[in-house]
Chain A
Amino acid sequence: MCLFIFHFPADALHLRDTASLAFLLAADTLIYPAAMTLGGMLQGLALGYAIIPRSRVYSSSVAVIGGEMLVSGVGRFLSMPRSRACL
């Protein structure tokens, strides 16, 4: 996605060098809050309405701890080397 932002829209808008960097940072400024807000909304929906009573799997503890495990253990851990490998 970063490459998509950095190359194709910048080329289409005839942005060169520093302008494309500013475009990339502007896109980051929009993408980060949107992604984080989406995650927060879905977490709230899950904790509010997806918890099944007396269930050991679909519980609030598993939701919070499993979510943090997937975020840090899968998303952040694997995404960085994969992104660098793509470049």
Chain B
Amino acid sequence: MVGVLMAYPLTQGRWNQRCLKNVLTRGCSAVFVVTLFVLAVACYDSRRDPQPPVNPHVIRLTAILSCQFIAGASQGLVVACTRLMLNRVTPPKSQVTMAIITVVLACTGTGLGPMLSNGVRQGLVWASAPAAPDELTALGSTSPGAVNSVSLAVLAFLSALWLAAFALVTPGTNDGVPIPLGSVRGPSSQPQLGEAFLPVETDAEAAQKEALQKKLFVTYLTVQTERAWLVSGLEVVTAMVMEEEFEISHREIGLAVWGPASSSRRRSWFSARSPRRSQIHRRC
């Protein structure tokens, strides 16, 4: 919410693509550097420090949650600004297709995130103790410093990749660029998207069209809220059912909820794990 609110003043007034691109690039660079630095300090293995802090776990938890807040705010800012920038250069007839493409790419990235973190973790396990009898033993012998270093390196690489893509692909002028679904002249050439209708219309027709536009606008906001409510509630309850009834670990629950397509490969989830289905059934 904070990040989305921060995007509002940036997108008001006269549209200046170069200014907005510079602000986003420099702001996101600063946020990435600060967040990675704070995360590195928070994840530093204080057991090797001759004078560890008084409450290392509380400090570490506070720092990690602060990084989560900063990352969430910057994500909201980036999503709102990039969606508006995309909207300015997309003709009305291609808006639906571009919106679906945006959703597909966002869902793909969201689903690949847990798989990437799981792959990094699995790679660390294999690299640290290849001859360990089981995964927990191998994890126990893994150095926390190595885990932190690899995690931060992966995060830094992904951040640099996003910044490079944004700086290279996003146009720096108001002229616009041809897009795959139809070339447009730029943001300044189509400031009023709603005017692409009949050239001559009576007052009654104009009023009716405006009423329909308002109805579509409100419906869009309502359905977006309902969709977010449905998806978030389903995620939470799925995680709760898997945790309470099947005693699946938190890491695998995250992988299952955000990557349901990969769940069929985890045969261990579907083995007998003392299900407690009757308990929740009674509570319902």
Contact = CB atoms under 8 A, between A and B. Distances in A.
Interface of A: 1-3, 6-7, 17-22, 24-26, 28-29, 31-33, 35-54, 58, 60-61, 63-80, 82-84, 86-87
Given A18-B246, A53-B192, 11 more contacts: A19-B270, A21-B246, A36-B107, A48-B93, A48-B96, A48-B193, A50-B213, A52-B194, A58-B217, A72-B76, A84-B240
A67 B224 contact: yes
Nearest to A75: B228
A66 B214 CA distance: 14
B256 interface: yes
B29 to A, nearest CB: 22
Instruction: Describe B's contact surface by its main secondary structure.
Output: helix
B166 interface: no
Interface of B: 1, 4-5, 7-8, 11-12, 76, 79-80, 83-84, 87-88, 90, 92-100, 102-104, 107, 192-195, 210, 213-214, 216-217, 219-221, 223-234, 236-238, 240-242, 245-246, 256-257, 260-261, 263, 269-272, 275, 277, 280-281, 283-284
Contacts of A26: 260
Contact of B99 (A7, A41, A78): A41
Instruction: Describe A's contact surface by its main secondary structure.
Output: helix
Given A44-B96, A47-B99, A21 B242 contact: yes
Contact of B11 (A6, A31, A41, A61): A61
A52 B227 contact: no
B100 A21 contact: no
B8 A1 contact: no
A87 B194 contact: no
Contacts of B97: 44
A40 B100 contact: yes
B151 to A, nearest CB: 25
Nearest to B242: A21
Nearest to A74: B225
A32 B257 CA distance: 10
